[in-house]
Chains A and B, each alone.
Chain A
């Protein structure tokens, strides 16, 4: 099945130790998104790529970076994780601009110790 895949599903990192989360998709969608979701809260958009064009949300901390080396893969780098960065990180895709339906991967649950 075509899908959005995230690895790892669970990640434990130490305070201040860089961590990278990965997302891949077999949908061949042009747009990829990274969201942060904390318990009982709405998913919060961190940034997205339309093809190779990177779009950062205004309130996304500099601590969060992203790379999209090709259509299929996208990475989220957290340079110096803090305790407040513990959350579920969701990758999503959409086919094209103007087609807003988004399809989510299973998420990576990040714990910061």
Chain B
């Protein structure tokens, strides 16, 4: 089983819609969680850190469910510019290394 797994999608949504997707992790000792955004042929860029039960940043909301070992990302009022691949990353408490998922692709259409 992979350490971090994501539904690859693609999630095709119209502008203004809400889209949400999950990321599951296998190591119950994981303590820090992140969402990165990666545009086609570009580098991952940190979107949000998820340290406790979850957090919100504008139209983006991240949730952590430790019991079921997954984190989620919800995008409200989708914009065309939200089209990207969203990578989930998980770090263990005793190790500053990140394990990445392969990403979920979101395409927002006009």
Total cross-chain contacts (CB, 8 A)? 48
Task: Please determine whether B101 and A102 come into contact, CB atoms closer than 8 angstroms.
Answer: no
Residues in B neighbouring A97, C-beta threshold 8 A: 96
Majority SS at the chain B contact face: strand
Which one, A94, A99, A101, A104, contacts B43 given CB within 8 A?
A104
Place the interface of chain B in its size category: 20 to 34
Is A74 engaged at the interface, CB distance under 8 Å to the other chain? Answer: no
Residues in B neighbouring A106, C-beta threshold 8 A: 42-43
Which one, B4, B8, B42, B89, contacts A40 given CB within 8 A?
B8
Interface-central residue, B46, B49, B87, B96, by most chain A CB under 10 Å: B96
Which one, B43, B99, B103, contacts A107 given CB within 8 A?
B43
A contact set with B: CB distance below 8 Å = 31, 40-43, 45, 48, 88, 90, 94, 96-107, 109
User: Given known contacts A101-B34, A101-B46, A105-B43, what 4 new A-B pairs fall within 8 Å (CB)?
Assistant: A42-B100, A42-B102, A42-B103, A104-B43
Provide 14 A-B residue pairs closer than 8 Å at the C-beta atoms, listed in order of the A residue: A31-B96, A42-B102, A43-B44, A45-B98, A90-B44, A96-B96, A98-B96, A100-B91, A100-B98, A101-B46, A101-B49, A104-B44, A105-B43, A107-B43
